[in-house]
Amino acid sequence: MKIDVVTIFPGMFAGVFAEGMVARAAQAATCTIGVHDLRRWAEGRHQVTDDYAFGGGPGMVMKPEPFFRAVGELKAPGGRVILMSPQGRPFTQSVAAELATLPQVLLLCGRYEGVDERVRLALCDDEISIGDYVLTGGELPAMVVIDAVVRLLPGVLAEGSAEGDSFATGLLEGPQYTRPREFAGIAVPEVLISGDHGAVARWRRREALRRTLERRPDLLASAPLTEEDRRILAELSQPPVI
């Protein structure tokens, strides 16, 4: 997979991509990540990438021409051009999984008041928001998208590791423990040290259901649930007997 980012602040990405899973994926050639300075495609001695807004108002708008030239040069066959925008479709685990199947994602980062509308209309295939808040630029959203996508690529995480993660199964993941067996006066649940893999799997499923019911009951409406899951949820929903 190829991931390209177009930004006026390419230096922001260096530290984030130098360590962790994204670096490992790039080293293993699972994906190649290119961070490109939009100014490369800007004109004039000052390589200006923004201009005043037609109609007036405070703040600058990013000019369309540099983005058009950048995409013309960088877009690969089958690639998807995505504008980072607070007005885009919400970024979720299933969007990350969808992007992880593509040969290329090309992320365009806005700044200032945003990007000239013609970039969205004539250049972009998709528009993604990482949440209902406004950041100063598309760089942090692009990093979020890249991190979430890269960890889904084959060989990046340990086999099966992403499958039990929150949202991957439609539920939140249950609690996790490591050594020591007792810490801060709290013991690891006995079942996890029982060596009974079936019992561990049933406990994990039940705890995932419990956690989802407590924290994100909205997810249950679309989660794929078995009859047994529904029975457990009904049981967990009972008021405690005093």
- 132 is an active site residue: no
From the list 213, 215, 214, the residue with the least C-alpha distance to 225 is 213
C-beta closer to ligand SAM: residue 85 or 104 = 85
137 is an interface residue for ligand SAM by CB under 6 A: yes
**Using the rule CB under 6 A, is 79 a contact of ligand SAM?**
no
Widest CA span in the chain: 77
Task: Name the burial class of residue 238, with classes exposed (0-12), middle (13-18) and buried (19+) by CB atoms within 10 angstroms of its CB.
Answer: exposed
Quick check: 94 binds ligand SAM (CB under 6 A)? no
Shortest reach from residue 209's CB to ligand SAM, in Å: 31
The answer to the question of residue 194 lying near ligand SAM (CB under 6 A) is: no
- Residue 104 in contact with ligand SAM, rule: CB under 6 A: no
| Candidates 19-27, 40-48, 85-93, 201-209; binding stretch for ligand SAM (CB under 6 A) | 85-93
Q: Is 137 or 170 the residue whose CB approaches ligand SAM more closely?
A: 137
Q: Which of 43, 51, 73, 113 is catalytic?
A: 113
Q: Which residues lie near ligand SAM (CB under 6 A)?
A: 84-87, 109-111, 113-115, 129-131, 133-138, 141
